[in-house]
Structure 1
């Protein structure tokens, strides 16, 4: 739903021989948008459930209570980012079904602007969810080492980094003329489209690698965690 491939469809299309239009003629957009609305609705419900307040648990060990409270703060922010990302996908798909064309034509500036803004919204908040996931792994490692967390740094990293990457990738893709299909050479096309893919997938790869690395280190600290529980 935040695939950079979909974002390239936001560009102007000048004629029916455009390869993107040929692909879309064989693509069932109604089914795609329906699946997007259904899956984003599930995401919205799950995020709301995570955000809802929980009853305070009277745990017998102070360390357990503290660790759950500290981790829950990060999970709430992760859920907020996920809620906004899912909401963006739902609204975009609903409008595509009812009002807007998923494939803007050469003179359809309003559809290009709508597609670009909704893509930026979705990409930004999904990136934020990935970074909050990494922040959670980092914070749990610090907690097992009896070290304090860094919530201010988490917020700065989770909200500013996606803004920079989203702006960088989409600016190169859409500015100055939102025409990323009728390019004169392969090298020009790569320089126009590839940065947005890198901004999306390099961050995802870093988060996956970092999270797995942190999980591996947590195993080494399991004896200490067991002592705290006992």
Structure 2
């Protein structure tokens, strides 16, 4: 929903049918896309609220449970804001039947850029909270302390850097990312935003399975060790 390809549609364009972006939009089923985004974001908001409010009213459980619930709650908060941005964007696009701003429409370009930044920022935060949940689970199994301040610092500050760098290169100075003079200039303009979007996702998708494997091995050892000790005692 914060696809860098969709974010390029926020850029100014000439309205000329020879423009590749305009031709793509002519073939793009915007109503179906926006309906899917609208439904998905609504489900995301409901799911996030379900995670947030029971956690605020129910603070029981042990310290291990609470530290996991703390991370899940903040993951849900980030997902709530991200889904809200997609909901607003899709609702307005369905209402006005236009994803790409009209030529020389600075207000629409500004609105589209802000919504893109909002959505990308909070979705990046959800991926980071997912990473920290896996790391904290491993720390719990190793009987080590949690680091909530460190988690919050990275989860809320790092997306500022990735989103700011990616979208600044894409939109600044004049939100022109179509009809660039060469392929090289197009790559310099667009590629950083793709990296800023997908590199954090790639890191989480690589690290989380590794943390799962490590955690599983530690759990197996923790379960197997008492049984081995009991067996030795019986044999004696």
Normalising by structure 2, we get a TM-score of 0.90
CA contact (8 A) 1:134 1:210 kept: yes
Q: Does 1:35 align with 2:36?
A: yes
Distance 1:56 1:162 in 2: 29
CA 1:121/1:111 → structure 2, altered by over 3 Å: closer, same or farther? same
Matches within 5 A, 1:69-148: 69-99=66-96, 101-148=98-145
Q: Does 1:189 align with 2:186?
A: yes
Matching residue of 2:49:
48
Other structure's SS at 2:11 match: coil
CA contact (8 A) 1:100 1:111 kept: no
2:197 to 158, 176, 200: 200
CA contact (8 A) 1:144 1:224 kept: no
Distance 2:207 2:103 in 1: 43
User: 1:31: Cα distance to partner?
Assistant: 1.5
Q: Answer with 1 or 2: which has the greater Rg.
A: 2
User: 1:66: Cα distance to partner?
Assistant: 2.3
Which consecutive unaligned segments of at least 5 residues does structure 2 have?
228-236
Matching residue of 1:7:
7
1:213 to 210, 214, 232: 210
Matches within 5 A, 1:158-169: 158-169=155-166
The count of aligned residue pairs is 223
Distance 2:129 2:206 in 1: 14
Normalising by structure 1, we get a TM-score of 0.92
CA contact (8 A) 1:13 1:179 kept: yes
User: CA RMSD, aligned part only?
Assistant: 1.8
Other structure's SS at 2:33 match: helix
Distance 1:50 1:167 in 2: 29
User: 1:225: Cα distance to partner?
Assistant: 5.2
